[in-house]
Every structure is written in structure tokens, then in C-alpha cells.
Amino acid sequence: MTASPPVLRMAVPSPLYRSFDYLPPADCAPEGLMPGMRLRLPFGRAQTVGVLLELSPQAQIERHKLKPALALLDPAPVLPAELMTLLRWVADYYHHPIGETIATALPVALRQGEAAQARYRSRWRISAAGRDVDTQALARRAKRQADLLQRLAASRHGLGAEQLTELPRNWNDAMAALVKKGWVEVEQVPALVFGHDQPESGPTLNAAQDRAVTEIVQGLERFSPVLLDGVTGSGKTEIYLRAVAAALAAGRQALVLVPEITLTPQLVERFRCRFNVPMAVLHSGLGDRERLNAWLLARNGEAAIVIGTRSAVFTPLQRPGLIICDEEHDPSFKQQSGLRYSARDVALVRAQGLGIPVILGSATPSLESLLNAQQGRYQHLVLPQRAGSAKPPEVGLMDVRHQPMEDQLSAPLLRLIQQHLDQDQQVLLFLNRRGFSPTLICHECGWVAHCRRCDTHMTLHLKRRQLRCHHCGSQRPVQPQCPDCGSPDLRPLGSGTERIEAALGQHFPDVGLSRIDRDSTQRKGSLEALLETIHRGGRRILIGTQMLAKGHHFPDVTLVGILDGDQGLFGVDFRAGERMAQLIVQVAGRAGRADKPGQVVIQTHHPDNPMLQLLCREGYHAYARAAMDERRLTALPPYSHMALLRAEAGQAAAPEAFLDQAERLAHQLGATGVELYGPMPAVMERRAGKYRHQLLLQAQNRADLHRLLRPWTPQLNTLPGARKVRWSLDVDPVDLI
């Protein structure tokens, strides 16, 4: 009897909590198959691309029902064993189907079956013979060739097409002629971002930085998680650069995670100034092909440094040496759809698996990370002061009760702005609400502009004369009259950044003004252009949303105004206070430099609020300690662990019915050590035309929670109500609404 061939256990993008078995493709010897390779598969009536999990002697279904895979797509695994192990952990921890988990980690092009082939491009370099050419003589015959030769002579490492963009379009002909004459050599280099020819060495570290770098470098050969906790401007980035240098010197690669696409250009530029190495930059603005390329060049080791947003945590690395997660507290590290993973938490698990260091950096660490540091799971490295001689800003509360207010701008604040402007300084105002005003109200009858698809009002965008829902994206033009009573007296209610901009324009008509929010920076490059004008001093008042709180430094700003300090006091989410404190501190940190210390004022109607007072007087860490005590007393994360089951449907009763069944199922399974809250309607029950409910699971002990989730989640689809809803499970939710 001949042994039957092994069965291919495949991960297939599907919402089912299982793997799928296939026979090897007809023309393919099973010995050549390895986990992590892609195969094209018949799936239902269509085809799909799956990833091989393992070869198994036994099938999960009867052998004669097995179908052969159609074709092997890779000569070698696209996902190395290390990532396959990590992704199995991710699927297990987030209770997500393995096929969808693996698909999330793959670039779209690979999911679609494209070849895993990296792209290279030409780079030209002057040859020894080229250096001997008399360019002046050449210029008389062939001006273009002479120009090119001069450009190349000035560059030590040669130039690629991306550096020659300002040349006349047909420079290629001239280059080809130079190559033919042997004056220029052409080589194929990976399509990556290259560092500068002559890297800078960076400042001399201060004592705190020096200690931090020494600690980090000592841990380079093992799993050593570090919380790098340093105020804005304390030189955290400088420490990242040194740690990366150490990893590169040891022949390793470094992976740097950043929360936002808007942060990447500046950080990339800082890395380019310091390292003359190829870098892969992965962010959501990349095309599929570019992303694939960067991913592959990280995998084959040609990209020495990988900088990317959330999903870059899954980038394969040939010689992983270090992972950095910058602004670790930022909620955008948590994916809010599909596989709801936290890139920060995955980075830790990955570093542990690899036995390499991981640095979590922030000026305002999350309470989760602070607790981990307190309990000794992370090394806590603190940078208490700004680097160089810059002084910390002075922070104060401004009581706006009884003050005349002009669109969120109190009279004392306006006076203060005037003072700073009189001294030729810049002023930064922060309001985390874009648009002109949160809604439009009829002064006759009280009608309010509601979204037809959500339980919320629509934001007025005056410039475009539009009402827009910030939750479902629907929009409609502003009508001249109230739809209920016909009155033309429609008034904007409350203020957003657009309204503040208008008010400031009236108040300070001669002062240049920039607004920075999602609306004003929609076009590619518009944020850079705005920042450029600000840095040149062309704009003296900046008004913006949380986009201003991230990454950018405004050294000439001496006054920061937080227009609505009360925004975090009454949040429905238990993290609202923490978020607001982080935002305030981050915005405050944008201001000032050595010779221009900053001043920060927070407008509030609650100047006696103890948490606000603590934040102002003693700073973020005192605030965080008090917030931690509160969380401990109320048994909220990080002192407990949560999972949130959300359900939505077009039919109002369906989500609750499904969640009732889910709750019953949980009790049948035991649910020891787990509290269930709900089902309850989401804070905004109807969004984008769907009714939403949720069921909250909470446990003191993480193991108890997962012991329930493991059998429970895969069974949810078998509940009778499941067909009528869309549901999702969120483990460690960062947002409860």
C-alpha cells in the first residue's frame, strides 16, 4: 500500500473559524511545499489565494472530497516561520479567523496572487573616466550631457531618477549617451528611500539620554521592552536614532512604527539625515505595488530600516534587530475594523518571539504601559527635561465663567493673544472639532439639522455651504429656510475650527492665520505647504484639531490656547479624561524653545476640577497616577480586561436579540470570572442607517476572559440571530462607543 500524499492545511480569507484542506497541485511535489507559501485554490465556485499553514498526514474531511490546489504561487514562503507563528498568536488572541488574520498581514497585491518579486530601478554613478572629462569642453557640444555629468560628479553614491526630477524631460537620452561613452556606470538598486550621502552625527547626548541609550544598547541581544517616557522635545527621537544605529552596526534591521501618515515625512527625513542606508516607508498612502515592493525589500533584507504605520508591524524582516513604537499611547495603533489588533501590543509579542528589544516611546504614556512599567514588565526610562536648554511651558487654567465669549474665545484669552502678537510671536489654538459649528438650529422653532442616517446632528461647513455628518459621511447643501417652519432665521450653534478661524480673522484682520484640520489638509501636500508657511513666519496664528498635537514642532509659538478644556470631563468613555489629558499635554509640547519659553492656557468652566488642576500644576504623570488610582478602585483597565461584542443591523430589534442569545451562550459555557454588561444600545444607537448594540465582557483576570472567548466566538455564527446582524469582537477595545 502506498502512503497517501500529505494534505495541505490552508488559511483562506473567509469569516469561518477554521482552516481548509486541499491536495497538492497536480504538477507539484509535496516535498517542496513549506508553510508560508501561497497557493491558488478552488473555493466554492470561485478561486482564492490561500497560505499554507502546515502539511498534515490526516484530512479534516473525507479524502475523496478533497480538491487539489490549482497552482503553487511562491518558490519560497512569503511569510517567514516567525511571522506565521506571530499570526497564529494574533488570530488566537483577537479570536479572529486565521485566514482573515493572515490576509490582513499580507500586502493587497500578494492577497490577489501577484508574484512576490521586488522591483529595482537604475542608479547612475560617474566613472573614473567620467571624472577626467573636461566638462566645459563637453558643454560646448552637448550641454545636457555636461550638466548631468556635473551633477553626478557631485554625488558620491550616484543618483536615481527620483533625484533628477527637476531636469528637462529628455535627460534619459543624454544619460544613455554618457553610459555608452563609459563615463557613467549604471547599476540596479532597490526601489527604496535612500539616506543622504553624508549623514550627520547628531548632538552630544545629555546625561539622561546617555543613560537611556546605554540601557537600550545593552539589551540589544534579547527581548527587552522599554518604556521611553520623556516630555515632548526631551530627545526621544534622538534615542531612537542611536538605538537604530546600534542595531544597524550589529548587521540588523530596525522597524519603526508611527501612528499617523502625517508624521512619516518628518521622521523619514530625520532618519535620512542620519543614515546612509536604504529605507522602506510603509503607510496607507502607498499604492498596492509600492507597498508590495517595500514589503519585499524588507523581507529580503535590502531595506535596513522600515518606517511605517500600524500594519507595518507585520512586515517580514530578514535580520530583525529592534522595534520602536513611537507615540505608543496613540489610539490609531488599534485597528477599528476587521482584525482589531493593537500594533503596539503585537509589536511587543513579536519582539518577544524574536528575542529583540522593543522601545515604546511617548510623552504621555498610556495607563496600560505605565502599569506594565510599574510592575516591572517594561524597563522604565525617563527623560524628565527638554533636550538642549529649552524650558518647559508654563500651564494655567483660565476660568471663563461669566467672561464674555466670542465663539469659544474668551475676552482674557483674546487680550493674551494680542500681547503675544504684539511681541511678534506665534500663537497656537487648539479645538478638537472641525467644521464651522457642530450644528444648525432654527431660531423660530428649534429645529436642528439632524443626520437622516445617524442619531446625531450634522456639522455645518460654511465655506462649502454644506451640512456634513462626521459619522457616516453623508452631506447636503444648507437650505435657506427651516424645513419645519419655513423661517429663514437659521443659526449656527457652537463652534468648530472653521468658525474660530473666521472670528479670529475679524478680530486680528492684519495677522496671517492658518487652520490645520482634516478639511484644510485634504489635498496631498497641503499640510506640508501649510507647515512650511508657518515655519517661515508667514502665519502668526494657528488654529487646529488634534492634527496639531502630533509630531510637528513650532519653535516660534509662545502661546498655546486650549479652547475647550472641558471636552474630556464629561466623556461617555472611561478613557475620555486620559485622552484629553494626553491631547492637552501633546499640544502644549509643541510650543517654545530655549530663548522663547511657552505659555499654555486652558479655558474651562470647571477651574476647580481636581484632575484638571493636577494636570496643570503637576503635569501628566501626577495626573496619570490619580487616574490609575481611580481605575484601580473602579476595576477598569488596565486593572481589568475587556472585550466588546458589537452588533448592527438595518432592523432595530435584531442586534439586541442576537446579543441576548450571545449572552445566554456565554452563561452556558460557564463564563467563570467574567462579568457581562448589556446588551445595551451604542452611545449613538443608529449610525449610517444601522442600529447598533453592544455586549461588554470584563474580567479581572485575562486568562478567564480568553477561556470564555475561545469557545464562544466561533459559535456566535451558529446563533439563530447571527444571520440578521453584522457582528464584530473587539478584544482590548480602546473605544467603547
Of the CA atoms within 13 Å of residue 55, those in its CB half-sphere come to 13
Omega within 30 of 0 (cis) for the link into 638: yes
Determine which residue in the list 42, 203, 287, 537 makes contact with ligand ADP, applying CB under 6 A. 203
Residue whose C-alpha cell is 514589503 = 295
Determine which residue in the list 85, 122, 155, 206 makes contact with ligand ADP, applying CB under 6 A. 206
Whole-number minimum distance, CB 437 to Zn ion, in Å? 17
Report the residue number, 471 or 535, with the smaller CB distance to Zn ion.
Answer: 471
Q: Does 689 bind ligand ADP (CB under 6 A)?
A: no
* Beta bridge partner(s), residue 504: none
Report the residue number, 352 or 474, with the smaller CB distance to Zn ion.
Answer: 474
Report the residue number, 442 or 709, with the smaller CB distance to Zn ion.
Answer: 442
Report the residue number, 330 or 730, with the smaller CB distance to ligand ADP.
Answer: 330
Q: Does 698 bind ligand ADP (CB under 6 A)?
A: no
Neighbour-count burial for 305-336, b at 16+ CB within 10 Å, e otherwise = bbbbbbbbbbbbbeebbbbbbbbbbbebbbbe
Q: Does 454 bind Zn ion (CB under 5 A)?
A: yes
Instruction: Candidates 184-192, 199-207, 536-544, 666-674: pick the segment binding ligand ADP (CB under 6 A).
Output: 199-207
Q: Does 384 bind ligand ADP (CB under 6 A)?
A: no
Whole-number minimum distance, CB 456 to Zn ion, in Å? 6
Q: Does 159 bind Zn ion (CB under 5 A)?
A: no
Report the residue number, 159 or 325, with the smaller CB distance to ligand ADP.
Answer: 325
Instruction: Candidates 19-27, 233-241, 303-311, 690-698: pick the segment binding ligand ADP (CB under 6 A).
Output: 233-241
Q: Give the rounded distance of the alpha carbon of 251 from its chain centre.
A: 28
Q: Does 447 bind Zn ion (CB under 5 A)?
A: yes
Amino acid making up residue 594? A
Sign of CA dihedral 366, 687, 473, 541: negative
Determine which residue in the list 14, 48, 101, 209 makes contact with ligand ADP, applying CB under 6 A. 209
Decide which of Zn ion, ligand ADP, none touches 388; Cβ closer than 5 to 8 Å per partner kind. ligand ADP
Report the residue number, 76 or 594, with the smaller CB distance to ligand ADP.
Answer: 594
Q: Does 467 bind Zn ion (CB under 5 A)?
A: no
Phi then psi dihedrals of residue 394, to 5 deg: -95, 130
Q: Does 149 bind Zn ion (CB under 5 A)?
A: no
Determine which residue in the list 48, 237, 364, 514 makes contact with ligand ADP, applying CB under 6 A. 237
379: helix, strand or coil: strand
Q: Does 364 bind ligand ADP (CB under 6 A)?
A: no
* Beta bridge partner(s), residue 395: 600
Bridge pairing between strands 193-194 and 278-282: antiparallel
Total residues belonging to the chain: 737
Determine which residue in the list 272, 471, 553, 726 makes contact with Zn ion, applying CB under 5 A. 471
Q: Does 99 bind ligand ADP (CB under 6 A)?
A: no
Of the CA atoms within 13 Å of residue 189, those in its CB half-sphere come to 20
Residues 477-506 touching Zn ion, rule: CB under 5 A, are: 482, 484-485, 487
Q: How far is CA 515 from CA 123, 407, 567, 737, in A?
A: 41, 16, 20, 28
In contact, 499 and 442? CB cutoff 8 Å: no
Decide which of Zn ion, ligand ADP, none touches 471; Cβ closer than 5 to 8 Å per partner kind. Zn ion
> How far apart are alpha carbons 308 and 255 in whole angstroms?
8
> How far apart are alpha carbons 629 and 613 in whole angstroms?
16
Q: Which cell numbers in the block locate residue 530? A: 501649510
Whole-number minimum distance, CB 384 to ligand ADP, in Å? 12
Determine which residue in the list 32, 355, 388, 446 makes contact with ligand ADP, applying CB under 6 A. 388
Whole-number minimum distance, CB 493 to Zn ion, in Å? 13
Report the residue number, 203 or 473, with the smaller CB distance to ligand ADP.
Answer: 203
Report the residue number, 95 or 692, with the smaller CB distance to Zn ion.
Answer: 692
Whole-number minimum distance, CB 341 to ligand ADP, in Å? 25
> How far apart are alpha carbons 37 and 26 in whole angstroms?
16
Cα first-last separation, the chain:
61
What DSSP letter does each residue of 549-561 carry, written as one string? GSS--BTTEEEEE
Decide which of ligand ADP, Zn ion, none touches 236; Cβ closer than 5 to 8 Å per partner kind. ligand ADP
Amino acid making up residue 215? E
What DSSP letter does each residue of 397-433 carry, written as one string? EEE-TTS-EETTEEHHHHHHHHHHHHTT-EEEEE-S-
Residues 392-431 touching ligand ADP, rule: CB under 6 A, are: none
Q: Does 442 bind Zn ion (CB under 5 A)?
A: yes
Q: Does 439 bind ligand ADP (CB under 6 A)?
A: no
Count the residues of the shown chain that bind ligand ADP, applying the rule CB under 6 A: 15
In contact, 109 and 291? CB cutoff 8 Å: yes
Q: How far is CA 464 from CA 112, 120, 435, 467, 520, in A?
A: 39, 44, 10, 9, 12
Determine which residue in the list 107, 230, 393, 733 makes contact with ligand ADP, applying CB under 6 A. 230
Report the residue number, 184 or 363, with the smaller CB distance to ligand ADP.
Answer: 363
> How far apart are alpha carbons 658 and 300 in whole angstroms?
47
Q: How far is CA 610 from CA 397, 615, 622, in A?
A: 12, 9, 11
Q: Does 235 bind ligand ADP (CB under 6 A)?
A: yes
Q: Does 233 bind ligand ADP (CB under 6 A)?
A: yes
Beta strands in 313-365 (DSSP E): 320-326, 357-362
Report the residue number, 237 or 514, with the smaller CB distance to ligand ADP.
Answer: 237
Q: Does 533 bind Zn ion (CB under 5 A)?
A: no
Determine which residue in the list 205, 261, 684, 722 makes contact with ligand ADP, applying CB under 6 A. 205
- What is the binding site for Zn ion (CB under 5 A)? 442, 444-445, 447, 451, 453-454, 469, 471-472, 482, 484-485, 487
- What is the binding site for ligand ADP (CB under 6 A)? 203-206, 209, 230, 232-238, 387-388
